[in-house]
Amino acid sequence: MKLAVVLFNLGGPDCPEAVEPFLRNLFTDPAIISLPGIIREPLGRFIATRRGPVAREIYAKIGGRSPILEETNTQALTLQMALTAQGHDARCYIAMRYWKPFADETAAKVKAWNPDRIVLLPLYPQFSTTTTASSLKDWHQAAKRAGVTAPTTRICCYPWEDGFIAAKTKLIAAALARKKPSVDYRLLLSAHGLPKRTVSKGDPYQWQVEKTAQAIVDRLGISGLDWQVCYQSRVGPLEWIGPSTDAEIRRAGAEGKALIVAPIAFVSEHSETLVELDIEYAKLARESGVPDYIRVPTVSADADFIAALAALASRAALGEAVVTCGPGRICPKEFARCGFGASNP
């Protein structure tokens, strides 16, 4: 059986000139700004134009472009090798949401290979309407345009999948081994934030992030560990879920705590890790009197993480709609926008 696995991620600009178009694609997505198109389209273009210069400065700090495609290519190739080793005739493809390669380009490649089954694998461990749901909708529209008809199964989420948690815990343990003697540390488990109103409408993202964090702490098994979940990357005037990562950095400084900061919703390095965490928040930590600041890498192509993705893809290849704990919904019923509630194509 020919198995096509399509990896979803947000994408990122590949040159300074791509920054504003990337932002325009982001802010005109109805999953990001839920207003009627007649309002959303001009508003999204306005935001992109206004934020463009600042965003270009951010990307200039990491070479003028996002490394997310290179990182995702490595994940795709490593996953393809893992699936091949398991006996699958598999090819892994990448469909980015807001920059190249877009879903239309990828759908055409999948159509040309003519697989027997397609597995849709989001590189977002925790489900959100703003990420996984948006990418799924984008893919299905592109697949329809391309005439892709192969049976398709989605992987919904994997917030506490064993290999994902093992990979993250291993990286955190390595950071803990770098602690300075006689210094008190706090572990910050940081994830991209969302507006509170998105969560109040039934998005399960925050609940899943906090389950990821608890699974990591449980696996670390350190008695009395000082830790906190926090949320970064806030933009716009709306109230966002918290506590914010920057507020937690300031609190740590006031309390004389050193910090180990681990991103738990990003699985590859990009501007939110390489600039926001490594440059901006490290500077804030110094200014706030934090005695030491250690940033934990993303899981990227860690062997445990790739093995987890391969296991999920293998299950999905059997036609099973996959969530981390097996068949069925994992989110409490109050999360009406849980991804598992949608029909599985």
Secondary structure in 3-state letters for 213-282: HHHHHHHHCCCCCCEEEEEECCCCCCCECCCEHHHHHHHHHHCCCEEEEEECCCCCCCHHHHHHHHHHHH
Residue 10 tokens read as: 């947000």
Statement: the pTM of the whole predicted model exceeds 0.85: yes
Q: Quickly state the pLDDT bin for 344 (edges 50, 70, 90).
A: very low
Beta carbons of 297 and 178 less than 8 angstroms apart: no
Average pLDDT of the residues in 233-261 = 95
How many Å apart are CA 35 and CA 57, to the nearest integer? 29
Domains delineated in the chain: 2-12+66-159+302-341 (3.40.50.1400), 162-295 (3.40.50.1400)
**Distinct helix (H) and strand (E) counts, the chain:** 12, 8
Crossing angle of the two packed helices 162-176 and 303-317, in degrees rounded to 10: 170
Beta carbons of 298 and 291 less than 8 angstroms apart: no
**Which run of H or E residues covers position 95?**
strand 89-96
Q: Angle at the Cα of 50 (from 54 to 130), degrees rounded to 5?
A: 85
What letter does residue 17 receive in the DSSP assignment?
A: G
More confident residue, 34 or 15: 15
Sign of CA dihedral 235, 239, 242, 248: positive
What are the tens digits of pLDDT across the range 73-127? 999 999 999 999 999 999 999 999 999 999 999 999 999 999 999 999 999 999 9
Average pLDDT of the residues in 201-227 = 97
Other CB atoms within 10 A of residue 336 CB: 11
Is the pLDDT assigned to residue 278 strictly greater than 80? Answer: yes
Q: Angle at the Cα of 81 (from 216 to 83), degrees rounded to 5?
A: 75
More confident residue, 342 or 293: 293
Is the pLDDT assigned to residue 326 strictly greater than 90? Answer: no
Is the pLDDT assigned to residue 345 strictly greater than 80? Answer: no
Q: For position 242, what pLDDT does the model report?
A: 96
Sign of CA dihedral 270, 278, 159, 128: negative
Residue 73 tokens read as: 């290519």
What are the tens digits of pLDDT across the range 154-211? 999 999 999 999 999 999 999 999 999 999 999 999 999 999 999 999 999 999 999 9
What are the tens digits of pLDDT across the range 283-297? 999 999 999 999 999
Show Cβ contacts of residue 226 under 8 Å, excluding neighbours closer than 6 positions.
184, 185, 186, 187, 257
Q: For position 320, what pLDDT does the model report?
A: 64
What percentage of the chain carries pLDDT values higher than 70?
A: 96
